[in-house]
Amino acid sequence: MIHHDRPSRLNLVLALAVALFILAPVLVLVPMSFSASRSFEFPPRSFSLGHYAAYFQSDAWLSATANSLAIAAGCSVLTLLLSVPAAFALNRRQFRGQNLARALLLLPMLVPSIIMAISYYTLYAEIGLNQTYAGVLMAHAAGSIPLALIALSATVRGFDRNLERAAAICGATPWQGFRMVTLPLITPAIVIAGIFAFVHSFDEAVISLFIAGREVNTLPRRAFESIRLDADPVLSVVSTLTVVLVIFLFSAVSLLRRRAAMSR
């Protein structure tokens, strides 16, 4: 008897072809960043570190990088302050209007960025928040709260509540129980949620394009203008460095997930 629960050879070939398509940008960008030429020729004829030197000598690129890192870190903190308590309310308590609250807190993830971009631009123009760090930070956090809640929900709902009851029975106050039992159990999920918020803000381009202006030049904003206007080869360096950062964060999240799964 032949079993068909193993994938066929054809399936493998098709899967590898699609995976090649998925990985194509990374496979092209990394060699491009070491190209010695200013043109977009691929594969490059000769290699150098010239584009890297140009990146580290460019005030415009470096300040855009610093802006993006600072805003992403701020977004991460603000998002956690709001979403950790909300995750407990949504997953561990019952209250009136719970489904509505959940929908409202998830929706910003699903509304197209262009709609939010022109909405912030129009409203901020009236209250003077365009081209300010605060304005960009607030808009980014609204978009990352849904992602943080998704990262937190399974852990907050899933861990063994008898551990908390045991702490209470042993005489711990609710605050002690939270700090000494609950918090250590959900720390990996909190770090993952913080990373999600960081990456969301670091990558956000459309809203920043409208509201950040020249005053708060973020990396995606500068990258957008560079693709549109001057095709600066330094962009391949920025892209490669971003990919390295993402691979690092992605591995961290995978490790934390494994640890969170073990503590359940």
Partner 1 sequence: MSAALTGLRPEAAHRPRTRLRAVPTWLLIAPALLYMGVVFLLPLANTAWVSFSDPMPGLHNYIEVLTTPAYLRIYRNTTLMALLVTGICIVMAYPLALYIARAGGAVGAVLLAATGLSFWISFLVRTYAWTVILGSRGPVSQVARWMGYDPPPVLLFTSAASIIGMTHILLPFMVLSIYVVLARIDPVLLRAASGLGATRGQTFRQVVLPLSMPGIISGSLLVFVFCLGFYVTPALIGSPRDLMVASLIATQIEDLLAFGTASAMAMLLLGATLLMLAVYDRALGLANLMK
The least CB distance from residue 81 to partner 1, in Å, is: 8
Torsion region of 37: left, alpha or beta (phi above 0 gives left; psi -120 to 50 gives alpha): beta
Only segment of 47-55, 56-64, 113-121, 183-191 that touches partner 1 (CB under 8 A): 113-121
Name the residue nearer to partner 1 (CB basis): 141 or 185: 141
| Rounded CA Rg of the chain | 23
Name the residue nearer to partner 1 (CB basis): 49 or 168: 168
Scan residues 131-170 and list those touching partner 1 (CB under 8 A): 138-139, 141-142, 145, 149-150, 153-154, 161, 164-165, 168-170
- Cα 4 off chain centre by: 39
The least CB distance from residue 85 to partner 1, in Å, is: 4
Specify burial of residue 7 (Cβ count, 10 A radius: 0-12, 13-18, 19+): exposed
x/- mask, partner 1, residues 200-229, rule CB under 8 A, reads --xx-xx---x---------x--xx--xx-
Cis peptide before 43 (omega within 30 of 0): yes
Separation between Cα atoms, residue 78 and residue 104, nearest integer Å: 18
Return the residue of 41, 160, 215, 230 that touches partner 1, per CB under 8 A. Answer: 41
Return the residue of 53, 174, 255, 261 that touches partner 1, per CB under 8 A. Answer: 174
Quick check: 236 binds partner 1 (CB under 8 A)?
yes
- Cα 233 off chain centre by: 25
Quick check: 95 binds partner 1 (CB under 8 A)?
yes
* 31 C-beta neighbours (distance < 10 Å), count: 14
Separation between Cα atoms, residue 237 and residue 90, nearest integer Å: 42
Quick check: 82 binds partner 1 (CB under 8 A)?
yes
C-alpha pair distances (Å), 232 with each of 40, 66, 116, 243 = 10, 19, 29, 18
Residues binding partner 1: what is the number (CB under 8 A)? 105
Quick check: 190 binds partner 1 (CB under 8 A)?
no
Scan residues 44-63 and list those touching partner 1 (CB under 8 A): none
141 near 197, Cβ under 8 Å? Answer: yes
Quick check: 86 binds partner 1 (CB under 8 A)?
yes
